Structure 1
Amino acid sequence: MGHSICYVVLHLLSIFCVGISLVSASMEDQRRDKIKLLPGQPKNVGFEQYSGYVTVNEENERALFYWLIESPMNRGPNLRPLVLWLNGGPGCSSIAYGASEEIGPFHIRPDGKSLYLNPYAWNNLANILFLDSPAGVGFSYCNKTTDLYTFGDQKTAEDAYVFLVNWFERFPQYKHREFYIAGESYAGHYVPQLAQIVYQRNKGINNPVINFKGFMVGNGVTDDYHDYVGTFEYWWTHGLISDSTYRILRIACDFGSSQHPSVQCMTALRVAVAEQGNIDPYSIYTPPCNDTASLRRGLNGRYPWMSRAYDPCTERYSDLYFNRPEVQKALHANVTGISYPWKTCSDIVGNYWTDSPLSMLPIYQELINASLRIWVYSGDTDAVVPLTATRHSIDALKLPTIINWYPWYDSGKVGGWSQVYKGLTFVTVRGAGHEVPLHRPRESFILFRSFLENKYMPSSSS
């Protein structure tokens, strides 16, 4: 009897010691990933940030790069949820876009050397986790080169899930925190696909439970058929293409049954691009990057709004900043000495994408039935994935309407419009292009706050 009691005590002690060693290991990993100070960063910002690599495949040495930016200490980061942000492409960096020109606390100045604070940074409301996904994008890497030519939706989602599981082991204080996923553009695939895996694995007996509450997608690729019908409709109704080209596009481009457009469709698309001219299709009413400098020099005196227009050249600033060795060292990035320069988007990953389902609508239906919080938003000056495309896709779900189309307000001005369905909320942001937080930072902040609080967009003009 005495021997058995001793065995039990020793066994419990061993479990306790293993637990302590795992906790201490995770704390050591956190300490290693903590960012002391980024080059050009304003001092005394009041929040902690971490960055580094999480291995998602030991055999092929695939590792994904993350950047965690916590809420300021005076806003109680320990009480706030965790939000994973994903950019799309496929093949584009969440560090370059989401973190550095949209929702992150630091934006890069044109010199590519200094940073300034974003007053509408989303980390004021939640702890934000940015992820470069899949491997080969941004600072994420794999040591098996052939891997770069085999990425697609499924592999990207699986790797992102493994990343989450391993990341939560490194940051156990976040394990039981409310968790959301958000993203834009081709992340219209990434976000619901990852959400589906998390939801399904949470039901598994031996899988770690992630406290997943919902997701939000902006100007997202959703359903090929409805996306193209809605895009051609937007081009025509906004005067970007001719009547004849619109008719040809509708006849020649059948994306509901094939991922490979016909020769006639490609010809019509080239004509459409020519008819649109030298505009920024991601924001049709603002000048493209190559004309920005001359336009601003010549028009600032007569058109004061021009100086406050969004800057379409922000990608160039990211290229300058993140290729600086001292920046990479501060971020604990490029630890393997990648042979190619850092880029906002990967040519290889994007050009060799292997699988892309025609529609995300079945996943939406499954997750709506699971009672997750689902919001979809659209900037209404985006001609790449326009709001008409998203409206067609949502309409195809045939959801009952709870609150019909209404204007929402910010300081007495219409910020956009919204419709609340059973299981899904749709919001437009007036005057915003493809990257809503870049074009309308204040309005997107209000949108994000409403999403987290699960409240309708403010409908009062007072």
Structure 2
Amino acid sequence: MKGRRYSYCLYLILIQTLASYVPSLAAPEGSLITQIPGFSGNFPSRHYAGYVTIDENHGKKLYYYFVESERNPREDPVVLWLNGGPGCSSFDGFVYEHGPFNFEAGKPHGSLPTLHQNPYSWSKVSSILYLDSPSGVGLSYSENISDYITGDLKTASDSHVFLLKWFELYPEFISNPFFISGESYAGIYVPTLANEVAKGIDAGIKPILHLKGYMVGNGVTDDVIDGNALVPFVHGMGLISEELFEEVTIQCNGSYYNSTADSCQKKLATVDEEIKDINVYDILEPCYHATPSKISFTTTKLPQSFRRLGVSERPLPVRKRMFGRAWPLRAPVRDGLVPSWPQLLSEVDVPCTDDEVATAWLNSEAVRRAIHAEPKTVAGNFELCTDRLKFYHDAGSMIKYHKNLTSRGYRALIYSGDHDMCVPFTGSEAWTRSIGYKKADSWRPWFVNDQVAGYIQVYENNLIFLTIKGAGHTVPEYKPREALEFYSRWLADKKI
């Protein structure tokens, strides 16, 4: 009897052990990825990918790539990741930032890259759901091209539909803590989507998502506050002189956003001239200029176009930028659309763009078959940032969204690489302070391996503002170790 009880106990232990290594039992048939061209060896966790149809009538499909946690996928958080643009694929984050692989460019130029395991992948502590959104971005597509005319609010609504359908396909993850995250223009995507999810929870829409909070990196938030952030940033970084800073402050009355005063515009033009050769994504990195056969491009006008972001609800075209990111651009309206800037550049390539690895990998039909993506004949050529969208910035300031969500108990981490000139930390620090919450802690450094990794301000209602020392616009790309560290601590609700 004793031996039989002992055998039965061993049987139970074996069953429990096997069960812990067999997540995603309800995953859609054919979604499991078993191998990927360019990578040899075993995956450190299970990967799934495919399409979710969010509009049957239009054939509107959103593509996802899901990486299970390498630690404990049954209990670890599920985190949705969104890149910005609008118009940039979340493979930007997957390939260049915190995905499960590091990509080594192929030789010769344009050939398939070689993949290695990423020791700082965010899948070390969580499951990550990479989503190409809205339709028309990355590997997502629609059979009705009218779906490529969209905006903030429609994108949030579509992404919410995606999540409801996705969790129906993967019901074993519904009880896991769920977080929404992203960077850059996802500063709009994340809070608007979190708001949709929260409303769905309140309304009892099933499945009930276990939303705990959200995270935004170097995110667009408020036109005026973000638009006023550049001049103080470049002055504080020593990129313009004290004399010029005093002059532009006087002429613009301390308000640099969308000023119509000639005297202010002239001084802002001088500021732009001073910083035109600086890499807008990381002021410490070089900016490579065009070969003589192309128009020499600098970042001169980018900050000015940023100051004009969202002046109206007119459609915003998407233009590739340095490192393949994109930004909604403003210019005089012609025929109801906003032309790309500057008009001189037209269709020429933007120097500093480097999408080689992602483009070569995701335009390979072998890779597409392996990751269950439609071929180019259906979904089109992969571009890290597309210009086929007509996008409306119609959600306004995000501050009301943040205040509503955090006041209701949702946790929020707002982080900034402190050397990003595109969406400077000065703006993010200002708007988080403007919400008016009391400080729960003093401004202080945070550490990784006994070294200062940045600075942190904790507010009441679980709102945190965090800087990462020496990082640019895409923090995990510049500081992968530090990024994984604050990400891990925050998800676990531990002190950073």
Give the TM-score band, short-chain normalised.
Answer: 0.7 to 0.9
Deviation by residue 1:261-299 (Cα, 9 ceiling, x = unmatched)? 8696887766544321332111110123569xxxxxxxx
Q: Distance in 2 between matches of 1:254 and 1:277?
A: 18
> Who is 1:334 aligned against?
374
Deviation by residue 1:41-66 (Cα, 9 ceiling, x = unmatched)? 13113211011110111121111000
Count, aligned residues: 403
Question: How is 1:295-310 mapped onto 2 (pairs within 5 angstroms)?
Answer: none
Q: Is the 8 A contact 1:110 1:314 kept in 2?
A: no
Q: CA deviation at 1:200?
A: 1.1
Which amino acid counterpart does residue 162 of structure 2 have in structure 1? F
Do residues 436 (structure 1) and 475 (structure 2) align? yes
Q: Distance in 1 between matches of 2:495 and 2:255?
A: 40
> Unaligned regions of 5+ residues in structure 2, if any?
1-23, 107-111, 291-322, 325-351
> Who is 1:12 aligned against?
none
* Aligned-pair Cα RMSD in Å: 2.5
Question: How is 1:9-408 mapped onto 2 (pairs within 5 angstroms)?
Answer: 30-72=28-70, 75-95=71-91, 97-111=92-106, 112-148=112-148, 150-241=149-240, 242-243=244-245, 244=247, 253-254=256-257, 272-288=271-287, 315-335=355-375, 337-338=377-378, 340-349=380-389, 352-408=390-446
* Identity percentage of aligned residues: 35
Deviation by residue 1:99-157 (Cα, 9 ceiling, x = unmatched)? 11111011221224211221110000000000000000000001111221x21001100
Do residues 426 (structure 1) and 465 (structure 2) align? yes
Q: Is the 8 A contact 2:35 2:370 kept in 1?
A: yes
- Structure 2 SS opposite 1:56: strand
Q: Is the 8 A contact 1:63 1:141 kept in 2?
A: yes
Q: Is the 8 A contact 2:164 2:206 kept in 1?
A: no
Q: Distance in 2 between matches of 1:126 and 1:40?
A: 24
Q: Distance in 2 between matches of 1:228 and 1:326?
A: 44
Higher helix share: 1
> Who is 2:333 aligned against?
none
Indicate the larger mover: 267-276 or 323-332: 267-276
Which amino acid counterpart does residue 392 of structure 1 have in structure 2? A
> Who is 1:11 aligned against?
none
Provide closer, same or farther for how the CA distance between residues 133 and 206 of structure 1 changes in structure 2, counting only shifts above 3 A: closer
Q: CA deviation at 1:236?
A: 2.6
Which amino acid counterpart does residue 317 of structure 1 have in structure 2? V
Q: CA deviation at 1:71?
A: 1.6
> Who is 1:416 aligned against?
454
> Unaligned regions of 5+ residues in structure 1, if any?
1-25, 256-260, 292-309, 458-462
Q: TM-score, normalised by structure 2?
A: 0.76
- Structure 2 SS opposite 1:137: coil
Provide closer, same or farther for how the CA distance between residues 371 and 76 of structure 1 changes in structure 2, counting only shifts above 3 A: same
Q: Distance in 2 between matches of 1:250 and 1:224?
A: 17
- Structure 1 SS opposite 2:139: coil
Provide closer, same or farther for how the CA distance between residues 167 and 339 of structure 1 changes in structure 2, counting only shifts above 3 A: closer
Q: Distance in 2 between matches of 1:104 and 1:314?
A: 18
Q: CA deviation at 1:226?
A: 0.7
Q: CA deviation at 1:335?
A: 4.5
Provide closer, same or farther for how the CA distance between residues 357 and 254 of structure 1 changes in structure 2, counting only shifts above 3 A: farther
Q: CA deviation at 1:220?
A: 0.6
Q: Is the 8 A contact 1:381 1:434 kept in 2?
A: yes
Q: Distance in 2 between matches of 1:87 and 1:172?
A: 25
Q: TM-score, normalised by structure 1?
A: 0.82
Deviation by residue 1:408-427 (Cα, 9 ceiling, x = unmatched)? 11112100011110020111
Q: Distance in 2 between matches of 1:129 and 1:262?
A: 44
- Structure 1 SS opposite 2:161: helix
Q: Distance in 1 between matches of 2:206 and 2:423?
A: 36
Q: Distance in 1 between matches of 2:384 and 2:257?
A: 31
Indicate the larger mover: 339-348 or 419-428: 339-348
- Structure 2 SS opposite 1:47: coil
- Structure 2 SS opposite 1:347: coil
